Amino acid sequence: MPLIRDGNLALDQWVHRGDDEPLADGPTIVSLDRWKRDRAALLTRNAPLGLRLKSDQAPAQVAADLGHFSVVALEFPTFKDGRPFSYAKLLRDRYGYKGEVRAFGHILRDQYLFLDRLGVNSIEVKDEKQLREWKTALGEFSVFYQPGVDARRPAMALRRQVASALKPSRPDFDDLTRVADVPPPADAPPAPSPARIAVADAKVRAFSHKYGHLSAPKLIAAMIDVEFKGNIALVSSFGTEAAVLLHMVSEIDRNLPVLFLDTQKLFGETLRYRDQLVGQLGLSNVQTIRPDAERVKELDPNGMLFSRRANLCCQIRKVEPLERALHPYDAWITGRKRYQGRRRAVLPVIEAAGGRVKINPLAGWSKDLLDEYFLEHGLPHHPLEAEGFLSIGCMPCTDRVAPGEDMRAGRWRGQDKDECGIHETPAAQSLTSSGL
């Protein structure tokens, strides 16, 4: 079995042996059970010895004997079992183990960088193709929510840095949803009261402790069935990755309100994809939200506002209609992910925004996990994805993404703009959100 060792493909000189198999003449890795059974005999060997730990075998069981092993191999039996990550950190931090720590089993490419940060030297892989995937993964993540054994700072510290850095250079960062020289519409919902904002902040803090350990489907179920029964909606663009969250919701409550913003500038393919997913998933409460016709007539009479003032165009076609649609609800669910980059790189799972609780169940998901979910559940892809549109919004402001570009590089290309405004969270407020 080849190895990735310190970022390069290497031949493995070590051999795994079962509990009753004859030992190899050279470097051999044995199980913890065999070590306990044959300890005395194994210590008489002249060849290097390695130890294999299952996910239910903590390093504490062999802490006093770690000096006898040149390699400790940690088994990852399933993606859901994260205990070996903790074991790697314990080996380095608590027990001061200086030998080689290797990982084997069910490991996804987006986990490689975290393994590296925890002091894992090598990973057993299938072939050179997998090596190339691991090397690509090294450059895909720049923000980490888990503490490692290296010097790179976790996301909470970076979030404070981002908020501090953006405020002086982007004075509008605190509230990009408003365009200062255009009064809000007469029927705009009232601003949230201080009391409502405080309640939402308190719920975020409580939910981070109560639900922060849950998987995305279980978190969604808790919000829909327990915390906000009848008082929560999903906002979906029906874009390239939307099917994952929509499928999860369909498995919990097909009648959940799904708010879809039809800006009247969308691709026809998006509208047809919406209809396809609604039918396939059996969603029974998809509400199409459109901009106020009089507002559009007043501010965008020829439909070309996007070319002159993109922020104002987003304001009247997306932000204002969504504010009205969300007014009855105390919480909403979004499909944003950290891997999408830019300000989303420090996205919390649970946050407070505008006096509401905002749930981002897929915040920590990678592109690999999303692709696996599409495949596992037979979900159709947005028809424009195959043509190079990786993030899809309104037709005039969406471009194809070139190989190697950020997936959202095609949105508002050439402008100092990377969000439409519906997901802008004040910098100071984001510091109170859950970073789980």
What are phi and psi for residue 88, nearest 5 degrees? -60, -45
Of 104, 106, 122, which is closest to residue 9 (Cα–Cα)? Answer: 122
CA dihedral 290, 293, 298, 299 (to 10 degrees): 20
Q: What is the distance between the alpha carbons of residues 20 and 175, in angstroms, rounded to a whole number?
A: 66
Q: What is the distance between the alpha carbons of residues 89 and 66, in angstroms, rounded to a whole number?
A: 14
Residues 6+ apart with CB under 8 A from 201: 352, 429, 432
Q: Which two tokens stand for residue 350?
A: 């649970």
The phi-psi region of residue 257 (left if phi > 0; otherwise alpha if psi is between -120 and 50; otherwise beta) is beta
Q: Are 391 and 407 in contact (CB under 8 A)?
A: yes
CA dihedral 382, 386, 387, 390 (to 10 degrees): 60
Q: What is the distance between the alpha carbons of residues 320 and 290, in angstroms, rounded to a whole number?
A: 10
Q: What is the distance between the alpha carbons of residues 42 and 26, in angstroms, rounded to a whole number?
A: 13
* Residues noted as catalytic: 420
